[in-house]
Structure 1
Amino acid sequence: MGIAALWDRHVVPRLIGCACAAPPIMELRAQVVPLAHGDVFELGCGGGLNQQFYDPRRLASLAGIDPSPALLDTARARAAHLGHACDLRPGLGEAIPFAAAAFDTAVCTYTLCSVSDPKQVLRELYRVIRPGGRLLFLEHGQAPDPGIQRWQRRIEPVWRPLLGGCHLTRPISSAVAAAGFAVESMGARYMPGMPRFAGWMEWGVAHRPD
């Protein structure tokens, strides 16, 4: 196994786990994830960082996918500890292994930055959400300021291979809207304490039309 493969398998999950569990990010998760209700699907569920925020009174079922075996193991262990009955599978967002209109809510947090084809992933999320259902999203991506965007473009070629394919330059809310969702913004800002090139966050509720 080469150095790059070892890095991706053993180091990247730890880096992502630390970064995505920072207190300011967990505070944002606490605003978004409890809005999930009914049959819930989580894209990029590995690590299980969102599980503590699901409201068991609103949750009928929980399913999810993640491409990382190591992160899936952690997510399953956390689910068992919290008493969540769930169906967590290996998989990619470009081909979600669940039926159309299977879920009332989909949850996507810090995942669109690293998928291979974000447009296809959003089409798949639209497919598995029931008419009238919702996508809850919390993502980092392309900053609104041209100067910061220039730095994002410069840094991204080095950043991406070190951070598991994480992109800095992807639009967030506009991409969700382009997939056919009606986007209701809950917030957008630079995260305090983070470099601006990596710290632009957007979160909200995206409604799938009836």
Structure 2
Amino acid sequence: MSFYENHVLPHLLHLSCGHKAVDRQRAAVVPGARGRVLEVGMGSGLNLPHYDPDRVELVWGLEPSEGMRRKARRNVAGAPFEVRWLDLPGEEIPLESDSVDTVVLTYTLCTIPDWHRALEQMRRVLKPGGQLLFCEHGAAPDEAVRKWQDRVNPLWRKVAGGCNLNRAIPELIEHAGFGLQRMETGYLPKVPRFAGFNFRGAAVPR
């Protein structure tokens, strides 16, 4: 891993993913988690303050970046429940099948290279009756914005750690065997429109 990826990028991602508009989306999704939770792409632990400690038994934090895990130390230390790191990519979830009550996926699906395999792994580890809670940015419904997303994406992906602006998030989730229970969409305020179209909701394995 390069110096940029290990030392510079974690700070940039922490700042951008901690934007107030983004944090409000996290606050609307994460408290719904319950039981034994798998958070895919925990990053710097920005979701940890939003979990309801009365509902959560344990959080596994899947995060392959050493720099991001280092950045998360303060949030992990302050968590009122156990947090266990899994330092593997999203395509490799080292948990038993049917072992997780909730999977939390926030601003991560845009980056995972093999998104289909990763989502299949999330579906595998979810217990019957388990739920995927997600909050992601992706392809905008407006053609003009989408064209800009497609133009900017190659450069954006290089500087933003593999993040893609133009993934069709609902279609990806459904294609991997989930059924959407609910979803809200819209542009986030004070975020550039090419990077600010947001999907927030819940899905269950079909």
Identical pairs, percent: 40
Query: What pairs with 1:103-114 in structure 2 (closer than 5 Å)?
Result: 103-114=100-111
Question: For the residues of structure 2 that align with 1:31 and 1:95, how far apart are their CA atoms?
Answer: 28
- Alpha-carbon RMSD across the aligned residues, in angstroms, is 1.3
Deviation at 1:73, TM superposition (A): 2.5
For the residue of structure 2 that corresponds to 1:197, the secondary structure is: helix
- The 5 Å alignment of 1:1-210 reads 5-209=2-206
- Counterparts of 1:7 and 1:52 in 2: how far apart (Å)? 27
Distance 1:126 1:83 in 2: 27
- Runs of at least 4 residues of structure 1 off by over 6 A? none
Matched position secondary structure for 2:167: coil
How much does 1:148 deviate? 1.3
Q: CA deviation at 1:130?
A: 0.9
Tell me if structure 1 keeps the 8 A contact 2:91–2:114.
yes
Q: Which runs of 5+ in 1 are unaligned?
A: none
- Taking the aligned partners of 1:7 and 1:195, their CA distance within structure 2 comes to 24
Q: 2 CA distance for matches of 1:181 and 1:171?
A: 14
Letter of the structure 1 residue corresponding to residue 176 of structure 2: A
Partners of 2:69 and 2:46 in 1: how far apart?
Answer: 11
Looking at structure 2, the residues matched to 171 and 152 of structure 1 have their Cα atoms a distance apart, in angstroms, of: 12
- Is the Cα–Cα contact under 8 Å of residues 76 and 88 in structure 1 kept in the other structure? no
Tell me the CA shift for residue 194 of structure 1. 1.4
Query: Structure 2 unaligned runs (5+)?
Result: none
What is the one-letter code of the residue matched to 1:164? Answer: G
Distance 1:74 1:159 in 2: 22
SS in 1 for 2:74: helix
Q: How far apart are residue 76 of structure 1 and its match?
A: 4.0
The aligned length equals 206
Instruction: Tell whether the 8 Å contact from 1:130 to 1:208 is kept in structure 2 after alignment.
Output: no
The AA in structure 2 aligned to 1:208 is: P
Q: CA contact under 8 A between 1:189 and 1:200: conserved in structure 2?
A: yes
Q: TM-score, normalised by structure 1?
A: 0.94
